[in-house]
Each structure stands twice: as C-alpha cells, then as structure tokens.
C-alpha cells in the first residue's frame, strides 16, 4: 500500500515533533507541524491564542488548518495532542494518511515537558496536570493505525518502525 501521508498523533511530549524531524530526513517528505502552521496563520503564540480567544476558538482554527494540510500529500504531519478530539479531524487523518500514535508513560511525559511554558493546558505544572489530562484523554488515540510506545526507544528506532509499517 502506498500511503499519502504519515500523521503523528499522541499526547504532548510523546515525541511527535522529534520523530517527525527524523522521518523527514529518512523519507525526504516535508514535515508539517500543525501547531506551527496555526501560529503562522494567526500571528500569535499558542498560549496567546488560548488566553485571548479561548480553547474552543483554538480547536476551530486547528480543525481548519488540519483540513487544509490533509488535502495535500507526501508529508509528515505532526499534530497537536488535542487534534484527535474532534471526529472531523480523526476522519480526515485516517482518510489521508497512515496514522501513528506515539505513547509514553506519565513520568516520561512530565520529564519531557517540564520547564515548557508553551503548553497552556499544563498551566505551568506538568506534574499535576499531565496525569489528569492523560486520564481524560484515555482511548482518544486508539483510532490510529499503528501504536508505538516511545519510553525506551530513540527517535531513530521509532522512525524505523514507522517506515516498516508503510510497506
């Protein structure tokens, strides 16, 4: 089967951007970061969009931007952790690419995102909010075609597993 796109989904801090960069090298497909596309379109940082317009407005922009991106092909699409919450988004990802869910334990995620001020949903306190949000998002990534536990793997190893799945 030849895939149109690779779509990376997963909770914050599961390595979507890092693995995306490694895949970009390996496949020579362009990496499109959905959060970055949103920031460029709006001319505002993610925290600023959340604080001035609210999460619902952010989600609406995210869906629009994702739809435009998913209409193209031969890209690696790194999505934001909450892009999977809308059915419309899950459908367009599944229709137009191999959807890969990256997973990690709460401990790994907290370690990876600590000190990060760019994730408004964590409210500057990942140790408190990562477990709460992980629980809320339970099952949200299960629609993916492939699931990879990233705790003990390098980005190279994860990218290698994904490339194997494309065959």
One residue of 82, 102, 140, 148 binding ligand S3P per CB under 6 A: 82
The residue behind tokens 């995210």 is 62
- The annotation status of 82 as a binding-site residue, yes or no, is no
Structural contact between residues 15 and 155, judged by C-beta atoms closer than 8 angstroms: yes
Does 46 sit near ligand S3P (CB under 6 A)? yes
Of 120 and 160, nearer to ligand S3P (C-beta) is 120
If you ran DSSP here, which 8-state letter would residue 44 be given? S
Nearer to ligand S3P among residue 80 and residue 167 (C-beta): 80
Least Å distance, CB 35 to ligand S3P, is 5
Q: In Å, how far from its chain's centre is CA 83? A: 7
| Token digits of residue 157 | 């190893």
For residue 18, state whether it binds ligand S3P (rule: CB under 6 A).
no
Does residue 8 touch ligand S3P according to CB under 6 A?
A: no
User: Which spans in 28-86 are helix H?
Assistant: 34-42, 46-53, 55-70
Using the contact rule CB under 6 A, the part of the chain among 24-32, 75-83, 98-106, 142-150 near ligand S3P is 75-83
Any binding-site annotation on 137? yes
Main-chain dihedrals φ then ψ at residue 150, nearest 5 degrees: -95, -5
Whole-angstrom CA distances from 44 to 10, 58, 136, 147, 158 are 23, 11, 27, 32, 32
Residue 80 binds to ligand S3P (criterion: CB under 6 A): yes
Binding-site entries for substrate = 35, 59, 81, 137
Which residues here bind ligand S3P, judged by CB under 6 A? 12, 16, 35, 46, 80-82, 119-121
């Amino acid at each position: 089967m030849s895939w149109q796109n690779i779509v990376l989904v997963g909770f914050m801090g599961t390595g979507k951007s890092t693995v995306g960069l490694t895949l970009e090298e390996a496949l020579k497909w362009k990496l499109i970061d959905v959060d970055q596309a949103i920031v460029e379109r709006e001319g505002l940082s993610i925290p600023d969009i959340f604080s001035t317009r609210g999460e619902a407005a952010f989600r609406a922009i995210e869906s629009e931007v994702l739809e435009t991106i998913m209409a193209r092909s031969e890209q690696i699409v790194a999505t934001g952790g909450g892009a999977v919450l809308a059915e419309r988004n899950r459908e367009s990802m599944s229709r137009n690419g191999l959807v890969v869910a990256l997973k990690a334990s709460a401990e790994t995620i907290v370690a990876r995102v600590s000190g990060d001020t760019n994730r408004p949903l964590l409210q500057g306190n990942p140790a408190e909010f990562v477990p709460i949000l992980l629980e809320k998002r339970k099952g949200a990534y299960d629609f993916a075609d492939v699931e990879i536990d990233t705790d003990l793997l390098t980005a190279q190893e994860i990218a290698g597993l994904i490339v194997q799945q494309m065959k």
